[in-house]
Amino acid sequence: MAEKRNRIEDVAKLAGVSITTVSRVINKVPTVTEDNRKKVDEAVRKLRFRPDVTAQRLAKGVNYTIGLVIPRYEGIFFSFFAMEIIRGVGIACEGLKLDLLLHISNGRTPVNLGNMGGVIFADILGNEKDLTTALEDNIPCIVINNAADTIPVNYIAVDNLGGAKKAVEYLVNIGHRKIATITGDPITQAGVQRLEGYKSILEKNGIPIREEYIIKGDYSRRSARIATERLLKLKEQPTAIFAASDDMALEALEVILEKGLRVPEDISVLGFDDNPSCLYGPVTLTTVKQPLFQMAQEAVKELHKIISGKTKTLVKKILPAELVIRESCTNASKSK
């Protein structure tokens, strides 16, 4: 038989005070006398009473359950991006005493939004219908990793365009003119913006954009291997490769070494993410750090403000990306 759960009425009876007084003590209302506070605390201890947090929240008319919706893709639970987002959201929810529901979405089955006080969409790719439903039902929501300027929705994103510009500008400044790129998936905003940043810096510096130096990738190691092998077969090999993700950059680096070439002496390699794996291997990877953890934490804090009624202003925020210089790039004059 299940153990009988003590109620607030039981605490009030044992302490010899009213239910209202017990409620005020539990909610730390300062108007309760010290004598009554001690009586209630002692009764709570003896009865091992635990307040029903869900009931307290419902009584206040606010649902503090946050939903995190992440599009499903192959290898998601080995993904640095997904793990940083989940880690950032989870820690922020713990700090703000919010409940967290994680939903891995396939883009076809609708997400049950009815039991959520607010929703964080980790990108909207494949989740456009769920986002539309949330907006139509007036459920507070915020999009991360996508600057959704065409939709009246809160968002926090990373400056992919600016980050790519910093990366390619750095390669140009250390003397490279034969710069190739392995792009991200062109259906993603990040993929489009990082390619745009690459092209804009070449144009700014009067460097011709060579189509054979632009190889489509999809953020996977396999796509990077195929792309790098194509680049190395060119009559005029690039002296530097900018890959739109660290996974692709690390695979490019591996292929270059397998072919008997050196990094960075023969070919410089630069990535995007600042995945911890950049620090391990024969050459540490120069990359662009995107603040995924910060983006996730800020999303929770902003959503909490909206749910709590502290703000009604739409959040439109772009977080800067930072160039991190390590060993995988060198001056073009040192390349063969």
In this predicted model, what pLDDT tens digit does every residue of 61-102 receive, in sequence order? Answer: 568 899 999 987 767 777 899 999 999 999 999 999 999 999
Q: Rounded to an integer, what distance in angstroms lies between the CA atom of residue 229 and that of residue 99?
A: 47
Q: Rounded to an integer, what distance in angstroms lies between the CA atom of residue 200 and that of residue 221?
A: 26
Q: Which CATH architecture has domain 8-51?
A: Orthogonal Bundle (1.10)
Ordered by start, the domain boundaries in the chain are: 8-51, 65-159+292-320, 160-290+323-334
Sheet holding 65-71, edge to edge: 99-105, 65-71, 118-122, 141-144, 154-158, 316-319
Q: Which of 167, 204, 278, 76 is nearest to 159 (CA)?
A: 167
DSSP state of 25: H
Q: In this structure, which topology does domain 160-290+323-334 adopt according to CATH?
A: Rossmann fold (3.40.50)
Q: Rounded to an integer, what distance in angstroms lies between the CA atom of residue 163 and that of residue 299?
A: 21
Query: Class of the 65-159+292-320 domain?
Result: alpha beta
Matching fold, domains 65-159+292-320 and 160-290+323-334:
yes
* Tens of pLDDT, residue by residue, the chain (336 residues): 445 667 888 888 999 998 888 878 877 777 889 999 899 999 888 888 876 655 555 455 568 899 999 987 767 777 899 999 999 999 999 999 999 999 988 877 888 887 889 999 998 888 888 999 999 989 999 999 999 999 999 999 999 999 999 999 999 999 999 999 999 999 999 999 999 999 999 999 999 999 999 999 999 999 999 999 999 999 999 999 999 999 999 999 999 999 999 999 999 999 999 999 999 989 999 999 999 999 999 999 999 999 988 888 899 999 999 999 999 999 987 655
Query: What count of other Cβ atoms lies within 10 Å of the Cβ of residue 18?
Result: 11
**Pair 116, 140: CB distance under 8 Å:** no
Q: Which residue has the tokens 């503090």?
A: 64
**Pair 188, 125: CB distance under 8 Å:** yes
